[in-house]
């Protein structure tokens, strides 16, 4: 995969695997990029995350011996997602198959740990 996609792969990794309770180290991000066939180093990862921050993405960096990164704001918080999910499940005019599709999309908006909690609450 071309290195021009490196930034997008970093963003996808952070979105899919991190939250404030589960940050990712640069080493973990580099290992992921390597599995995707993209070569990078610590400086390029740090620069890419900085670029996303400058563009308005809420990528938080915990400055430590080895910096840790995670997605801060995902748009909707867990209580808001629960409320919307409850409303979709209660709507009788939405078919069962469409309800499942909507619930899956809403669940994807949550952090990885919140996704587990939302999936436990789902019933169709």
Q: How far apart are CA 27 and CA 76, in angstroms?
A: 29
What digits encode the pLDDT tens for the residues 35-59?
999 999 999 999 999 999 999 999 9
CATH class of 3-71: mainly alpha
Q: Which residues pair with 70 in a beta bridge?
A: 60
Q: How far apart are CA 56 and CA 32, in angstroms?
A: 24
Nearest 5 degrees, angle CA 10-CA 11-CA 16? 100
Q: Residue 124: is its pLDDT beyond 60?
A: no
What digits encode the pLDDT tens for the residues 55-114?
999 999 998 888 999 999 888 899 999 999 999 999 999 999 999 999 999 999 998 888
- Is the CB of residue 49 less than 8 Å from the CB of residue 61? yes
Phi–psi pair at 60, nearest 5 degrees: -95, 140
For residue 117, what is the enclosing H or E element?
helix 112-121
Q: Residue 2: is its pLDDT beyond 70?
A: no
Q: How far apart are CA 32 and CA 12, in angstroms?
A: 11
Give the global pTM: 0.80
């Amino acid at each position: 995969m071309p290195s021009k996609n490196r930034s997008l792969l970093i963003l996808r990794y952070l979105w899919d695997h991190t939250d404030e309770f589960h940050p990712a180290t640069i080493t973990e991000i580099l290992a992921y990029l390597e599995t995707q066939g993209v070569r990078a180093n610590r400086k390029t990862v740090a620069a890419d995350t900085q670029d996303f921050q400058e563009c308005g993405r809420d990528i938080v960096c915990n400055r430590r011996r080895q910096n840790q990164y995670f997605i801060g704001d995902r748009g909707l918080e867990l209580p808001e997602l629960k409320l919307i999910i409850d409303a979709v499940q209660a709507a009788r005019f939405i078919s069962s198959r469409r309800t499942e599709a909507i619930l899956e999309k809403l669940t994807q908006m949550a952090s990885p740990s919140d996704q587990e909690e939302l999936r436990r609450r789902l019933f169709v």
